[in-house]
Amino acid sequence: MPPTHRISGRARRATLRAALATGTALTAALAATAPAGPAAAADPDPQDRRAQRVEYFTGPGAHPRHTGIPAPAPLTARERATIQADGDVVPIVQAGPTAAKLDVVFIGDGYTATQQADFHADVRAKWAKVSAVEPYASYKGLFNVWAVDAVSRQSGVSGDPTSGTVKDTALGSAFFCDGIERLLCVDTAKVEAYAKKAADPDLVIVLANSTKYGGAGYNDITSPSGYDGIATASSDNAQSDQVVVHETGHSLGKLADEYWYDEYGTYTGAEPWESNISKLKAAQLTAQKKKWYRWIGRTSPDGGTVGAYEGGGYYPRGLYRPTTNSIMRTLGREFNLPGREAMIAGFHRHASVVTALTPTDRVVRRDAKVSVRVAEGIRPRWSVDGREVRHARGDSTVSPRALGVPADGREHTLSVRATDHTDAVRDPALRRLLTDSLTWRVVR
């Protein structure tokens, strides 16, 4: 990977953990090793190592539920050979190098060899809907989107329309998983094998060839390929894009669910690690400067005012959420202000503010052109040997010579630094994630 000098993922996570310890940051928004939250009571038996915990949607307008399902068996040699021969990768959106962008990988299931063009069209349509939701809409330039072709022997998926419907598909997608009609399960071992076909998967979505309402979120999976969790959704259901957006609130934003069930009663455990639920009321959050206190009193895009509303993390009492009804509670709603902040931080966990169009792993000549790409409104700052060249502020293409690199025969350093100054991120620890830099070696 070129020496971009961006903050490493490890450093970013360390920054968040340190901020969490002082109570000043969104709690563990990017912490890959965070302890289990208050959802523990809904988890499958921890002694059953085969169990995978999944979130599913029981029907339009209803709050999701959780269950444990058996983990898939390891792939056989024959299955590995089949996947090895399959899995063409098709670019849908190319915003820049994979190392500098958040790479969304869609894998199709229930599409035959003659339906792959339909799959690509479905990916474009689904991504258009997902990326229309804020904060995706304001950060489209951070995303690459890829379609991985998984050829199925039969069209459609099992469990559609009835439990007796069985289809032979590449990923084994099936409704009525664990006897639950709307739970759309998938063989995650096969998903992992197909996802690895893409260069750098950060977010994986399985698109099932179906019109049926349903989906699932495998948010406790840590993939060897580096992505966090898997979302499944129907290709042609009007609400399936909302299922995807909600699930990315978990995988990218590390957000908790903000709904609850009466049978859970009162929460009495430790303070949850997730940034959008707390045992503290609004006055306590403000006094102790914890979690979303910076947003309290502000009008939120999901409606109402940011405060502390009882009910969340599955408990009707003892836990509080920032707003009355965000997308982490009800599909079709917006992310609330703390949720948007967490999502933007999640985007920047994988994507850089500035992308090199001139490779940084090569020495550039003094009279060459050096170019970068930044989002609209971001003004890059250029420096020579550590000193900023003010007249070049905001330029996306420069010449080392014009910036004052001397013709003395020695090697010099050209660097650029860019910062996303969005007011949607208030936490200082998270704001540090919104700055990246690139460096080139310059010779005469």
**Residues 277/256, Cβ–Cβ less than 8 Å:** yes
Tell me the helices (H) and strands (E) count for the chain, helix number first: 8, 18
pLDDT above 60 for 46: no
Cα-flanking dihedrals φ and ψ of residue 274, to 5°? -65, 150
- Residues of the chain with pLDDT > 90: what percent? 80
More confident residue, 250 or 223: 250
- Residues of the chain with pLDDT > 70: what percent? 89
Distance of alpha carbon 200 from alpha carbon 89, whole angstroms: 12
pTM score, two decimals? 0.87
Cross-strand pairs, 174 = 158, 185
**Residues 241/251, Cβ–Cβ less than 8 Å:** no
Q: Which CATH architecture has domain 35-251?
A: 3-Layer(aba) Sandwich (3.40)
pLDDT of 13: 37
The mean per-residue pLDDT over the stretch 8-32 comes to 38
Q: For residue 430, give the nearest of 222, 220, 253, 249 by alpha carbon.
A: 253
Query: Under DSSP, is residue 108 helix (H, G, I), strand (E, B) or coil?
Result: strand
How confident is the prediction for the chain on average, in pLDDT? 88
* pLDDT grade for 428, boundaries at 50, 70 and 90: very high
pLDDT of 50: 57
* pLDDT grade for 62, boundaries at 50, 70 and 90: confident
pLDDT tens for 70-110 read 999 999 999 999 999 999 999 999 999 998 999 999 999 99
Query: Under DSSP, is residue 359 helix (H, G, I), strand (E, B) or coil?
Result: coil
How many CB atoms are located within 10 Å of the residue 136 CB?
21
Q: Pairing relation of β-strands 412-419 and 435-443?
A: antiparallel
The mean per-residue pLDDT over the stretch 251-278 comes to 96
The mean per-residue pLDDT over the stretch 42-58 comes to 65
**HSE of 83, CA atoms in CB hemisphere, 13 A:** 22
Out of 5-19, 53-67, 318-332, which region has the weakest mean confidence (pLDDT)?
5-19
Which strand (E) or helix (H) includes residue 193?
Answer: helix 188-195
The DSSP call for residue 101 is: S
Cross-strand pairs, 208 = 109, 234
- Taking the alpha carbons of 418, 423, 428, 429 in that order, is the dihedral positive or negative? negative
Residues whose CB falls within 8 Å of the CB of residue 226, separated by 6 or more in sequence, listed in order: 200, 201, 202
The mean per-residue pLDDT over the stretch 369-377 comes to 93
pLDDT of 222: 73
The mean per-residue pLDDT over the stretch 339-366 comes to 95
Q: Pairing relation of β-strands 354-356 and 309-312?
A: unpaired
pLDDT above 50 for 354: yes
Instruction: Dig out the tokens for 399 from the structure.
Output: 């010449």
pLDDT above 70 for 21: no
pLDDT above 90 for 16: no
pLDDT above 60 for 37: no
pLDDT tens for 281-310 read 999 999 999 999 999 999 999 999 999 999
pLDDT above 80 for 406: yes
More confident residue, 441 or 45: 441
Query: Under DSSP, is residue 216 helix (H, G, I), strand (E, B) or coil?
Result: strand
pLDDT of 383: 98
Instruction: Dig out the tokens for 212 from the structure.
Output: 């049926």
pLDDT of 14: 41
pLDDT above 60 for 39: no
DSSP 396-435: SEE-TTTTT---SSS-EEEEEEEE---TT---HHHHGGGE
* pLDDT grade for 346, boundaries at 50, 70 and 90: very high
Cross-strand pairs, 185 = 174
Domain ranges of the chain: 35-251, 354-443
**HSE of 128, CA atoms in CB hemisphere, 13 A:** 8
Distance of alpha carbon 112 from alpha carbon 153, whole angstroms: 6
pLDDT of 134: 97
Q: Pairing relation of β-strands 435-443 and 364-365?
A: parallel
